[in-house]
Amino acid sequence: MQGCNRSQKIAICTVGLPARGKTYISRKLNRYFNWLGYKSRVFINGNYRREICGTECNSQFFDPHNETAQKARSDCAKMALQDLIQFLKNGGDVGILDGTNITRERRLQIESDLKQSFNGIQTLWIESICNDSKVIQNNIRLTKINNPDYCNVNSDEATIDFLNRIKMYEQIYETITDDENLSYIKTINVGADIIVHQVYGFLLSKIVSFIMNLHTYPRPIYLSRHGESQYNVDDRVGGDSDLSELGEMYADKLADFFFKEFPTKETKNEIIFFTSTMRRAIHTSDVVASKLDIQPLQLKTLDEINVGICDGMTYTEIAQKFPSDFQERKINKLGYRYPRGESYLDLISRIEPVIFEIERSRQPVMIIAHQAILRCLYAYFHQNEIPEVPTLDIPLHCVIKLTPAAYFCDEKRVLINPQTGEISIKEEYVQEFVRSKSKQKSFIDL
Amino acid sequence: MQELGKQQKMVIGMVGLPARGKTYISRKICRYLNWMGFKSKVFNIGNYRRQICGTDCNSNFFDPGNKDASKARDECALLALNDMINYLRNEGDVSLYDGTNTTKQRRKLIMETLQQKFSEVQVFWVESICNDEDVILRNIQLTKLNNPDYVGKSSDEATQDFQQRIEQYTKVYEPIDMDENISFIKIIDIGNDIMIYNIQGFLQSKLVSYLMNLHIYPRPIYLSRHGESQYNVGHKVGGDSDLTQTGLMYAKQLGKYFVQELEGNRNIKMITSTMQRALRTSNEVCELLGIEYYSLKALDEINPGICDGLTYQQIADKFPQDYEERKMNKLTYRYPRGESYLDVISRVEQIIFEIERSRLPVIVIAHQAILRCLYAYFHEHEVPEIPKLNIPLHQVIKLVPAAYYCKETRIKIDPMTGHWEIQDEATIKKVKSFLDL
């Protein structure tokens, strides 16, 4: 549906005390928009402050009575906003301003600056409120201790200083009220309670649905292709071929792998299991299903990309029969649509409901599907750039386990030898601590 | 995706003063759920009250101090509740409990009764709050004055009595509070403000998205197939054929129709598929109107898989078993390597949201199976009827949503002469809708 309503610029601003998940929400939304095809970017007030004022700012810096610090912070905030406006002027579609913005005065200023810069810009304010001290402590532990502000401080000191910083902000916190005349969404206690005020429009309505489904439960997502199929062996595209002998062996070994991953009956029953309606995926899933005694849901939305008139051909045959299409696809694999078939962009649009379902789920998710489909799903959770999608490496006979964490996604690849059952594992834990220390840029550079 | 919601039965309870759109909302939700494949039914407490206590109840009947009347009304509420539970036990997936349910006590009673009699059910509350006097007055005029309660009374008398009835309810009204510990959505001033609390599960999540897109702007929706295509002439299914001469002429006449119909208003939204025949038709219309269209793959015709390019006769010869299967169950039958009508419904859901959301007139130029699904949604047809609905070529279907139903007008356009023939189905619908709640 991204074809609709591209003309309007959108600015989203966060509101809330520190450690309320504003950056988490901004990043998630940013990911979602970019994945849907909108040019979107996050502008983090905190990063501007770090660059300009340095990172040795303890909680005193945030005292509302500290005039010099206040001026400095206000200047930084203005710069972030200016950059956002510039981004929108230079072709951006969605700008996200990630900052505390806890006073009416600040909000009204930002709203007025935005409305003046663009005719017809849509602005949306997202306030994150949290009264659950456990959640806040957890947030601090997960994301603040590794923050560049505390790189020379031990974690206990860091926590105390950060809690003091929050107290500074609390002194002047003014929650959004209706008379400020802003379109806003308030999310309270991680989406348990949501208030929506004057939010209209295609994209803004989608944002509400998206935020409703966000949570911070760290559940794993398992992605695997079906076992090797007949068409894989013949190097053909499309079709609805069945598994080859090797493919069947993979299905067995895959079932064994999952059997070990989910040892108890309770864990097994929790699994959300999706597959497509194509033979090769169904047969692979059936083997896993019967070993674990669970039922997969067959979704047509997970069917492999439709290759239209090229169905059943090898790449060589396509190159011979349709040379200009073959060239076109090489140049623009993302946007190229097979005649009577689909493009990767169509695929991304098609699987959006599945993305929502996975985001919403707080239980482990298992998906057995196809290469193009998994490229799209993987790219969304792993936060790859869209142009990379058609060339991502999703090999046969490999289980990819993704565990979305605060700002990034941990990945574990389990390559299973279908004949011997031998397993080799490649892990990629995102070391936020290492990243933030060595490359300060990375924090700004979202 | 609807399989995900099948796991649990659900009760949706409405809350709100009279004339706040509760019945409108419950009917919309019921329509949406049935269309999506969840068997749903609305249980309107007012109807039970009318059946049991008669229709000669003036506002004093609703005085909270009137002990006999209160007792009678409580009984009606429980009767409706019982019928609702039976429906869920037997064939239903979702029941809508359409009543005012304005006190904490009543809501508590319902939650406790459900817990006792049918504990596996999920309960979700929808509260409609409206403070805009104009909207309330309009609601009363549109839907209450024709209510059986006021047969034989003048509209001024009826309005006054109804407003008094509202006052009776207002005396005891307690909006939903978070400490009642229930999942709810509050819709305030037709979506100006929305509050969501404790939403759980696939279906509740979908419903909230759906409800956020509702409004009461009476904008028209125009549905038309592409002009006659080569494959239409050859009686073949599928394909991506172009328009015939006749089809092209229809496209031009269609453009002329819209020029006249829209009377200079170009603030409209036009969507079409990615198939040649629809694109060409849309092109012709847009050139005349001077607007742009959006081409969406979601509107592409049903995919007939391996039967693509064959005539029905050829399908019967080549795949006799499939041919029989499709005849018996046209709704669920999926063409091998293709789609079923159920797949199309799933695919087209996002379009429904788009159309619901739009406050501008919408023009959809698409294909037979697609339009059958869209039309069935707006016109409240039973899902099994969808594959047989009559959506002929060279005809525009104009739907204008009214209080509880859709006013339909069909405009047959002759491609050669450009002559229009208008068929108005409005009146028949009106009588049916009220009793049929």
Read off the pLDDT of residues B307-339 as tens digits, 9 standing for 90 and up: 999 999 999 999 999 999 999 999 999 999 999
Residues of chain A in contact with residue B4, where contact means CB-CB under 8 angstroms, are 297, 357
Q: Which two tokens stand for residue A438?
A: 């060595």
Of the candidates B127, B284, B301, B339, the residue annotated as catalytic is B301
Question: Burial level of B218, CB count in 10 A (0-12/13-18/19+)?
Answer: exposed
Residue with tokens 């739009």: B358
Q: Chain A closest CA to B193's CA: distance in Å?
A: 4
A304 in active site? yes
Looking at the structure, do residues A281 and A174 belong to the same domain, yes or no?
A: no
What's phi and psi for A182, nearest 5 deg?
-110, 150
Tell me the Cα Rg of chain A: 24
User: Quick check: A109 pLDDT over 60?
Assistant: yes
What average pLDDT does the segment B89-117 reach?
93
Q: Chain A closest CA to B416's CA: distance in Å?
A: 31
* pLDDT above 90: percentage of residues in chain B: 68
- Asked if residue A442 is part of any domain, the answer here is no
- Asked if residue A83 is part of any domain, the answer here is yes
Looking at the structure, do residues A281 and A211 belong to the same domain, yes or no?
A: no
- CA A340 to CA A352: how far, in whole Å? 21
- Known binding residue A371? Answer is no
pTM, two decimal places: 0.89
Looking at the structure, do residues A208 and A228 belong to the same domain, yes or no?
A: no
Instruction: List residues of chain A with CB under 8 Å from any CB of chain B.
Output: 1, 3-4, 178, 192-199, 202, 205, 208-209, 212-213, 240, 277, 297, 299-301, 306, 337, 339-340, 342, 346, 349-350, 353-354, 357, 360
Q: Which two tokens stand for residue A346?
A: 């169509």
Looking at the structure, do residues A113 and A177 belong to the same domain, yes or no?
A: yes
- Asked if residue A111 is part of any domain, the answer here is yes
Instruction: Kindly determine whether residue B193 and residue A297, on different chains, have CB atoms separated by under 8 Å.
Output: no
With CA atoms as reference, the chain B residue closest to A1 would be B296
- Asked if residue A17 is part of any domain, the answer here is yes
B385 in active site? no
B437 with B403: CB under 8 angstroms?
no
List the A10-15 sheet strands across, edge first.
A40-44, A94-98, A10-15, A122-129, A184-188, A193-197, B193-197, B184-188, B122-129, B10-15, B94-98, B40-44
Cα distances from A352 to residues A13, A33, A35, A44, A373, in angstroms, run 24, 12, 10, 27, 11
Kindly report the number of other CB atoms within 10 A of residue A368's CB atom: 30
What average pLDDT does the segment B108-137 reach?
92
User: Quick check: B349 pLDDT over 80?
Assistant: yes
Where exactly are the structural domains of chain B?
10-212, 221-429
Fold of B10-212: Rossmann fold (3.40.50)
Residues of chain A in contact with residue B333, where contact means CB-CB under 8 angstroms, are none
User: Quick check: A108 pLDDT over 60?
Assistant: yes
- Predicted confidence (pLDDT) per residue in B258-307, tens digit: 999 999 899 999 999 999 999 999 999 999 999 999 999 999 999 999 99
To test the contact with chain B by mutation, choose from A184, A196, A305 the residue with the greatest count of B C-beta atoms within 10 A, namely A196
* pLDDT above 70: percentage of residues in chain A: 94
CATH number, position A39: 3.40.50.300
Task: State the Cα angle at B361 between B381 and B243, rounded to 5°.
Answer: 75
Closest partner CB to B357 (pick from A202, A240, A360)? A202
User: Quick check: A444 pLDDT over 50?
Assistant: no
* pLDDT of amino acid A5: 52
- Known binding residue A213? Answer is no
Closest CA relative to residue A39, chosen from A203, A166, A192, A149: A203
* pLDDT of amino acid A153: 76
Q: Chain B closest CA to A1's CA: distance in Å?
A: 7
- CA B221 to CA B224: how far, in whole Å? 10
Show which of A171, A199, A215 is a domain's final residue.
A215
Q: Dihedral, CA atoms, B255, B257, B263, B264, nearest 10 degrees? A: 10
Looking at the structure, do residues A194 and A275 belong to the same domain, yes or no?
A: no
- Asked if residue A96 is part of any domain, the answer here is yes
- Asked if residue A4 is part of any domain, the answer here is no
Tell me the Cα Rg of chain B: 24
To test the contact with chain B by mutation, choose from A209, A337, A342 the residue with the greatest count of B C-beta atoms within 10 A, namely A209
Closest partner CB to B296 (pick from A1, A198, A354)? A1
Strand, helix or coil at B294? strand
A284 with A207: CB under 8 angstroms?
no
- Known binding residue A417? Answer is no
User: Quick check: A443 pLDDT over 60?
Assistant: no
* pLDDT of amino acid B294: 94
Looking at the structure, do residues A174 and A262 belong to the same domain, yes or no?
A: no
Instruction: Kindly determine whether residue B212 and residue A193, on different chains, have CB atoms separated by under 8 Å.
Output: no
Closest partner CB to A197 (pick from B178, B193, B199)? B193
Q: State the angle between helix axes of B45-53 and B67-90 in degrees (0 to 180), rounded to the nearest 10.
A: 120
Instruction: Report how many domains make up chain A.
Output: 2
To test the contact with chain B by mutation, choose from A340, A356, A358 the residue with the greatest count of B C-beta atoms within 10 A, namely A340
- CA B311 to CA B309: how far, in whole Å? 7
- Known binding residue A165? Answer is no
Give the range of the structural domain holding residue A97, as residue numbers without chain letter. 10-215
Looking at the structure, do residues A394 and A270 belong to the same domain, yes or no?
A: yes
Instruction: Kindly determine whether residue B296 and residue A198, on different chains, have CB atoms separated by under 8 Å.
Output: no
Show which of A169, A195, A215 is a domain's final residue.
A215
Looking at the structure, do residues A187 and A239 belong to the same domain, yes or no?
A: no
More confident residue, B201 or B21: B21
Q: What is the DSSP string of B305-373?
A: GGGTT-BHHHHHHH-HHHHHHHHH-TTT---TTS--HHHHHHHHHHHHHHHHH--S-EEEEE-HHHHHH
Q: The CATH number of B221-429 is which of 3.30.750.80, 2.40.30.170, 3.40.190.10, 3.40.50.1240? A: 3.40.50.1240
- CA A370 to CA A378: how far, in whole Å? 12
- Asked if residue A1 is part of any domain, the answer here is no
Helix boundaries (H) for A224-304: 230-234, 245-261, 265-270, 279-292
- CA B402 to CA B216: how far, in whole Å? 9
With CA atoms as reference, the chain B residue closest to A277 would be B337
What average pLDDT does the segment B367-394 reach?
93
Amino acid code (one letter) for B232: N
- Asked if residue A35 is part of any domain, the answer here is yes
Looking at the structure, do residues A56 and A190 belong to the same domain, yes or no?
A: yes
CATH number, position A363: 3.40.50.1240
Q: Is the complex ipTM higher than 0.95?
A: no
Instruction: Kindly determine whether residue B295 and residue A4, on different chains, have CB atoms separated by under 8 Å.
Output: no
- Predicted confidence (pLDDT) per residue in A290-316, tens digit: 999 999 999 999 999 999 999 999 999
- Predicted confidence (pLDDT) per residue in B77-95, tens digit: 999 999 999 999 998 999 9
- Known binding residue A230? Answer is yes
Residues of chain A in contact with residue B1, where contact means CB-CB under 8 angstroms, are 299, 301, 353-354, 357
Show which of A215, A230, A249 is a domain's final residue.
A215
Instruction: List residues of chain B with CB under 8 Å from any CB of chain A.
Output: 1, 3-4, 178, 192-199, 202, 205, 208-209, 212-213, 240, 274, 294-298, 303, 334, 336-337, 339, 343, 346, 350, 354, 357
Q: Which two tokens stand for residue B90?
A: 């037997």
* Contact residues for B427 (Cβ-Cβ < 8 A; gap 6+): none
Residues of chain A in contact with residue B294, where contact means CB-CB under 8 angstroms, are 3-4
* pLDDT of amino acid B377: 93
Instruction: Kindly determine whether residue B196 and residue A1, on different chains, have CB atoms separated by under 8 Å.
Output: no
Looking at the structure, do residues A187 and A277 belong to the same domain, yes or no?
A: no
Closest partner CB to B3 (pick from A1, A199, A297)? A297
- CA B178 to CA B197: how far, in whole Å? 8
Looking at the structure, do residues A167 and A58 belong to the same domain, yes or no?
A: yes
Amino acid code (one letter) for A342: E
Looking at the structure, do residues A134 and A60 belong to the same domain, yes or no?
A: yes
A258 with A366: CB under 8 angstroms?
yes
Do strands B184-188 and B294-295 pair parallel, antiparallel, or not at all (unpaired)? unpaired
